[in-house]
Amino acid sequence: MAALLCQGESMSTQRLDKIIADSGLYTRSEARALIKLGRVEAGGCVAKAPAELHDPEQALVKIDGAQLDYKKFRYIMMNKPCGVISSTADRHERTVMELLDAKYSKMGLFPVGRLDKDAEGFLLLTNDGALAHKIASPSSRIGKRYFAEIDGAVTEDDIKAFNDGLVLGDGTECLPAILENTDGGVFITLYEGKYHQVKRMMAALGKPVKYLKRVSIGGLQLDESLNPGEYCEIGDEISQIKCEW
């Protein structure tokens, strides 16, 4: 790892132009230009060079007198609406990235997992690749909970089939999951993310899904004050995402 660092740079310090670029508000070249124009302060002094080393978690960086909003990782909770796809870009479909303010466009955000185009609910967007991998990996056993309206009524046999690990009509084996009856529909908790999995599992039971909404990821609940298409940036709340069993 040390070989990847610039001379004199430590694990806790970074080049000033990189710190500014990592905020997502400026490109690396824009950051260098701002520094050369004398518009950047770091640690109470006007910055002299893009290569200056600072601790991004400790140094007070200002641009034109305004404090830089630096965060190594960003986490956005979105209530994904129907009609948009969970992708960073698409030539034909509107994506969730198009719902975000322009200030987020340079932050390297991407959706963690997917929600079907016609499904809504909790979608996490981040630039934290390690966390995204952990959430998506079945080995992490992080549950994703959904509310669904279905045709038909769930039986004890259906609940047991989910508990045991349902086998779909094409032979696909699903990990054990949780199926619960509730007013007006069912709650389903999955520990993996196969293609159209909720719909395919319910269809295998002869009870197709009419409406689908993800309500939580690993214990972190969707903020119900968010209307479809709305989102908020979260911080410490991300620690609520945990293995559930």
Q: Assess if residue 4 is contained within a domain.
A: no
Query: What stretches of 66-171 show up as alpha helix (H) in DSSP?
Result: 129-136, 156-164
Residues 80, 63 share a domain = no
Residues 190 and 199: their CA atoms lie apart, in Å, by 12
pLDDT higher at 245 or 45: 45
Give pLDDT, residue 244. Answer: 63
pLDDT tens for each residue of 103-117: 888 888 999 998 999
Q: Which two tokens stand for residue 202?
A: 């319910």
Residues 82, 177 share a domain = yes
Number of domain units in the chain: 2
Residues 109, 147 share a domain = yes
What is the domain extent for residue 27? 11-67
Give pLDDT, residue 163. Answer: 96
Q: Is 1 a residue whose pLDDT tops 70?
A: no
The answer to whether 121 touches 198, Cβ cutoff 8 Å, is no
Q: Assess if residue 2 is contained within a domain.
A: no
Catalytic residue (choose from 22, 116, 128, 158): 116
Q: Taking the alpha carbons of 120, 124, 129, 131 in that order, is the dihedral positive or negative?
A: negative
- Residue 17 annotated in active site: no
Give pLDDT, residue 107. Answer: 87
